[in-house]
Copies of this chain bind each other. A is one copy, B any other.
């Protein structure tokens, strides 16, 4: 039976099941977390969101662990309880140790502090920082 507000595999239609199957295959796991089971109420958003996440989070110039830690840094900044819990778990699975988590949260905390100091002091951007220099 479906949980309230979430669509379980056995209650899902073919379109939703195809996404669930791809999530499990990609992540080499046999379960689907509540985020996707909630999104499944809107199969178009479920599919698009999963495909975007899959493309973005696959290793590229940045490895999977770095990407998961960045995801966690954003979630902690936004104070999204669900996302902090799920991406702490995901980052640990990708190799984040306790000490790495401690250092990561220290940077997140400091950045949130200095962001407000820079704004509160109305600091003007240094002309040296205005050069964007995208690939020459």
Contacts and interface: CB of A to CB of B under 8 A. Distances in A.
A71 B102 contact: no
A94 interface: no
**Copies per complex?**
6
B75 A115 contact: yes
A33 B134 contact: no
Interface of A: 4-5, 31, 33-35, 38-39, 41-42, 44-45, 48-49, 52-53, 55-57, 60-62, 66-67, 69-89, 92, 97-126, 128-135
B113 A110 contact: yes
A106 B53 CA distance: 10
Given A73-B74, A77-B78, A56 B106 contact: yes
B67 A98 contact: no
Given A70-B73, A77-B78, A86-B129, A61 B110 contact: no
